[in-house]
Amino acid sequence: DAEITQSPRHKITETGRQVTLACHQTWNHNNMFWYRQDLGHGLRLIHYSYGVHDTNKGEVSDGYSVSRSNTEDLPLTLESAASSQTSVYFCASQQGGVTDTQYFGPGTRLTVL
Amino acid sequence: AQSVAQPEDQVNVAEGNPLTVKCTYSVSGNPYLFWYVQYPNRGLQFLLKYITGDNLVKGSYGFEAEFNKSQTSFHLKKPSALVSDSALYFCAVRDKSAGNTGKLIFGQGTTLQVKP
């Protein structure tokens, strides 16, 4: 079955380190998204992509970057991890139509010490 | 500005009773609306969506939602709640900014607690 996976599921890192979270989908969806979920803030969009080599900033993009070299993957990089980036990160994908449904991965819990 | 509001942080209901989780939206033109559920330590799961047509939308796990254009609402409902329905529920509307085909605007979420 087609699916969307994230790795690692849990990560502990230190302040200042670079961290990359992986997201892989097998639906051949054009659109992919990264969100963070924090208590009291719901889901906030970090970056998104509408296709290969396309990337766009969301509402909380500072300190994060993404690249889209193929359809299946959208890795999220924290350039220099900060304690404020401790959160649960969700990747999502969607076919390209405006009425299409977004499907979410299982999440990555990141702790920055 | 486009927005989604879930006015209740938590909804408590007894098992077997009907449940309603409220959602109101503000968006120009016709909205595309979605409901998701999140169980503890899991990702969001899609429940249902309203695009056009019948105002009553049926979805997964016996849930349905009623679209009301005049009240700009899209409340999630279930005739008989189960303890296993206890979870965090998110309402979302598709951002209708020019050129957008994907971005969603999420509400803050409502925790549903179903007591036996």
Residue-wise pLDDT for B76-89, tens only, equals 999 999 999 999 99
For the record, the structure tokens of A16 come out as 């200042």
CB contacts, 8 Å: A31 with chain B: 101-102
What pLDDT does residue A39 have?
A: 83
Residue pair B8/B110 in contact (Cβ under 8 Å)? The answer is: yes
pLDDT in tens, A57-102: 999 999 999 999 999 999 999 999 999 999 999 999 999 888 899 9
Q: Which residues of B14-39 are buried (b: 16+ CB within 10 A; e: fewer)?
A: eeeeebebbbbbebeeebbbbbbbbe
Distance from the B60 Cα atom to the nearest Cα atom in chain A, whole angstroms: 14
The Cα B87–Cα A35 span in angstroms is 19
B90 near A37, Cβ under 8 Å?
no
Instruction: For residue range A15-61, list pLDDT tens digits in order.
Output: 999 999 999 999 999 999 999 999 877 899 999 999 999 999 999 99
Instruction: For A27, list phi and psi in degrees, rounded to 5.
Output: -85, -10
pLDDT-based confidence at residue A2 (cuts at 50, 70, 90): low
Nearest residue on chain B to A30, alpha-carbon basis: B102
Contact A34/B at CB under 8 A: no
* pLDDT number for residue A1: 65
Number of H helices, E strands in chain A: 0, 11
Chain B residues with CB inside 8 Å of A33's CB?
102-103
**Nearest Cβ partner of B107 from A42, A58, A97?**
A42
Question: Out of A45, A97, A104, whose CB is closest to B43?
Answer: A104
Lowest pLDDT segment from A2-6, A10-14, A32-36, B45-49: A2-6
Chain centroid to Cα B38, Å, comes to: 12
CA distance B6 to B38: 15
Distance of CA A104 to the CA centre of its chain: 10
The tokens for A31 are: 């659109």
Between CA A6 and CA A10 the distance in angstroms is 10
- B7/B30 Cα distance (integer angstroms): 22
For residue B100, list chain A residues with Cβ-Cβ distance below 8 A: 98
| Record: contact B101-A50, CB cut-off 8 A | yes
| Coil vs helix vs strand at B29 | coil
Task: Provide the shortest C-alpha distance from residue B39 to chain A (in Å).
Answer: 11
Beta partners for residue A6, in sequence order: A23
Q: pLDDT of B64-115, one tens digit each?
A: 999 999 999 999 999 999 999 999 999 999 988 877 778 899 999 999 999 9
Q: B10: distance to nearest CA of chain A, Å?
A: 13
Hey, is the C-beta of A27 within 8 angstroms of any chain B C-beta? Answer: no
pLDDT at B69: 94
As a whole number of angstroms, the distance between CA A87 and CA A76 comes to 13
**CA dist., res. B108 & res. B5, Å (int):** 7
Query: Is A2 touching B (CB cutoff 8 A)?
Result: no
Residue B6 contacts residue B72 (beta carbons within 8 Å) = no
Which amino acid does the sequence have at A110?
A: L
